[in-house]
Amino acid sequence: EIRVIPGPRYTIRRDALRADSPAGADAVEALGDPPGLAPGAPARAAPVLDAQAALIDALRTAGHPLAAVADREVLVDHEAQAMDVSWTLSPGPRARFATPEIAGETQVSQALIARVTGRLAGETFSPARLDRTRRELQSLGAFDLVRVRAASRLDEAGNLPVTFTLSDRARNAAGINLAYETNFGPSGRVFYERRNVFGNAELLRLEAEISRIGLSGAGTTSNMNYRIGGSFRRPGLFDGRTTLVAEAFGVRERLDAYDRDAFVASLLLERPIGAHWIVQSGPVFETGRVGRDGTMPAFTLLGFITGLRYDDTDSVLDARRGMRATLAATPYADLSESGSFSRALGSLRT
């Protein structure tokens, strides 16, 4: 037989914050009350530790990279069944980023890396800003690993040294994708990628795709679909934030609704806005023949793509959490028949 006697429940009575020196008094006062420690709340250890971590994070977010806890005092009053908690905090000086240093072996242009990381120099310290620069480096697509380490002390100028350690992805990659559809038969896709083509994190991708193989009889390809072409990405243009994306594909489609033979090419510029948004725009050209039942009149289209992408995932290359969304609108001019139309496409992944 086990009898449990809980005893009285202790609660938080008061909490207090103080600075370890007059120089840090304003920064500590600006923190306000520690989160999660309201008077009357249960006197538990976990909220005390969580509040302490939140206080240090708040000081770092406010530009104090060397913030630390100088002392923590927890007093339990058994007669009052209450607990008092007080912290003595050492905010340390507000600091700005020094010019970042680059470590690790990489074949990517040092000038390109400096354009991306150099924007940190002179900015007020911020963990979010540091992580944003790490993601910008990773989004170049040339690095398998991007680590960032802030120094534990300021330099002689009072700035915080930061080091980015980089490791390149494999220069070459290839893959094959095979599928089978019960109504259309087998299909396949092959691709080849060459990364960091000219040393500026460029990506060249060539791919070919074939489908509806099962709809064609022996020795004939009349009902097969083909798509072959490639794309080229050149990140880090201008101030290191703009990416050029060029694509060109030859397409042959034999569908239930129409037949189409076409050449499609586009030339887009992409640029991030803030931490999660990317805007893209540029021309797209398409020419070929389209129709059905053997009638395939020629067509030529000229359009201009304007789009937005949103990405708040936790990793550019290996996302486990977050959301990605795209929205693009393209007005077209039909150069063959002097007409026009618009197309809008959207997608959402989480």
Q: Give the whole-angstrom CA distance, residue 71 versus residue 36.
A: 19
DSSP readout, 6-19? --PPPEEEEEEEEE
Give 299-339 pLDDT, tens digit per residue. 999 999 999 999 999 887 788 999 999 999 999 999 988 78
Q: What whole-number distance in Å separates Cα of residue 99 and Cα of residue 161?
A: 7
| Total length of the chain | 350
Query: How confident is the prediction for the chain on average, in pLDDT?
Result: 92
Q: Write out pLDDT tens, residues 74-97.
A: 999 999 999 999 999 999 999 999
220 pLDDT band, cuts 50/70/90, is low
| pTM score | 0.79
pLDDT in tens, 166-188: 999 999 999 999 999 888 889 99
CA 259 to chain centre: 38
* Residue whose C-alpha is closest to residue 65's, from 128, 146, 137: 128
Backbone angles phi, psi at 158, to 5 degrees: 85, 15
The mean per-residue pLDDT over the stretch 142-170 comes to 94
* In contact, 164 and 117? CB cutoff 8 Å: yes
Range 115-141 average pLDDT:
91
Q: In the numeric block, which tokens belong to residue 312?
A: 């708040």
Residue 222: pLDDT over 80: no
Residue 221 banded pLDDT, cuts 50, 70, 90: low
